[in-house]
Amino acid sequence: MACCKKIFILIEIWNKNGQPSIMTPILSTIMEPDAFKVYIDRLHSGKTQRVEALFSPGFLDVNEESLRFEKPIRVHGEAYIAEEDLVLHFSVTAEALMPCSICNEMTPIEISLPSFYEAVPLDEIKGAIYDFRECLREEILLQIPHTAECHGGSCPKRKEMAPYLKAEAAEENDGYQPFADL
């Protein structure tokens, strides 16, 4: 849970120094750790908590050569109680950077979850606060495609690479199949 540790360190810095002076209004939204939290007590009697936030991509804890997130992750939606569950209903947009599978240039890939629902049984939530960071992280990571291609799938190098791509595709068909046994 390295990502959570980072966020707790951030809270400590805030407490000692107050609000850092470099904060602009948008950054304070990004770095507000409480923005991941849903307070169950406030949702009884049919109330809804609105979530409207830009999160720094640090909570995704992803920083690989072939996968990076640099832009803030936008989340908006609501949390409410439906019978015995806490329901999160969010719309999420993020941008991943991945190398184009043809020319290898880092390419922005839009990740969009227009309607993400998650129902969490209330009796599984300890301490009346639900932190949706981990669940949001998993949902975003699940949306990442296996491969990316620049220019929306029309990499300018596609033509010159065409003969090699064909050979590779043929090889892939009987090659590594990670989900073949599932």
The two structure tokens encoding residue 135: 């669940």
- Give min distance, CB of 60 to Zn ion, in A: 24
Output 121 or 153, the one with its CB closest to Zn ion: 153
Q: Assess contact for 116 and 88: CB atoms under 8 A.
A: yes
Residue with Cβ nearer Zn ion (113 or 155): 155
Q: What is the smallest separation between the CB atom of 181 and Zn ion, expressed in angstroms?
A: 32
- In this structure, are residues 30 and 54 in contact, taking their beta carbons and an 8 Å threshold? yes
CB of 158 to Zn ion, least distance (A): 7
Residue 105: C-alpha distances to residues 75, 77, 83, 99, 169 (Å): 28, 34, 49, 5, 20
Residue matched to tokens 């596609």 = 158
| Among 60, 79, 98, 150, interactor with Zn ion by CB under 5 A | 150
Choice between 27 and 103, CB closer to Zn ion: 103
In three-state secondary structure terms, 155 is coil
User: How many residues at the interface with Zn ion, by CB under 5 A?
Assistant: 5
Residue 103 beta carbon to Zn ion: minimum distance, rounded to whole angstroms: 3
Is 148 an interacting residue with respect to Zn ion (CB under 5 A)? no
Would you say 73 or 100 has its CB closer to Zn ion? 100
Stretch 88-117 residues interacting with Zn ion (CB under 5 A): 100, 102-103
Closest CA to 149 of 96, 98, 95, 94: 98
In angstroms, the CA 4 to CA 134 distance is 9
Q: How many residues does the chain have?
A: 182
Minimal distance, residue 99 CB to Zn ion, in Å: 8
**Both structure tokens of 87:** 């329901």
Question: CB-wise, 27 or 106, nearer to Zn ion?
Answer: 106
Give the interface with Zn ion as residue ranges (CB under 5 A).
100, 102-103, 150, 155
